[in-house]
Amino acid sequence: MNVVLNILVGVQMLTALTMIGLILIQHGKGADMGAAFGSGSAGSLFGASGSANFLSRTTAVLAAVFFVCTLLLAYFSHARPAGGGSLLERAAVGVPAAPASAPASQIPSGAAPTAPAASAPAVPASGASQIPGK
């Protein structure tokens, strides 16, 4: 299934890039008026009117291929089994949870083990006592 998705994405990218190139090569509707007054476009590679037909048909075919690839990618991404979720959710499932609080006495050191201190953690002051005085 992964191979099919990779091929579809590759075909979609190639058709998109080719469509961009073909659209940029095409002349606008005003270019025909310039050819009538001798602007030199009649001596082009495809002839006086051949480029418009060839390029517009090729662009239409590539647009159809791009549309079909987009629909197939949407179908295959929707056909995946439920329970995966997003990539972030799948990554969070595989990572073990860290302990809620690890006191500094549990950090290993080179010294001999000592008994943990029985003091409560310091709670920061809240409210008006946090405003510094002059």
Domain spans of the chain?
A: 1-22+47-81
Phi, psi (deg, nearest 5) at residue 8: -65, -40
Query: Cα–Cα distance between 64 and 66 in angstroms, integer?
Result: 5
Record the pTM. Answer: 0.48
pLDDT in tens, 63-91: 999 999 999 999 988 776 655 566 677 66
Burial class (CB in 10 A: 0-12, 13-18, 19+), 73: middle
Residue 46 pLDDT class (50, 70, 90 cuts):
low
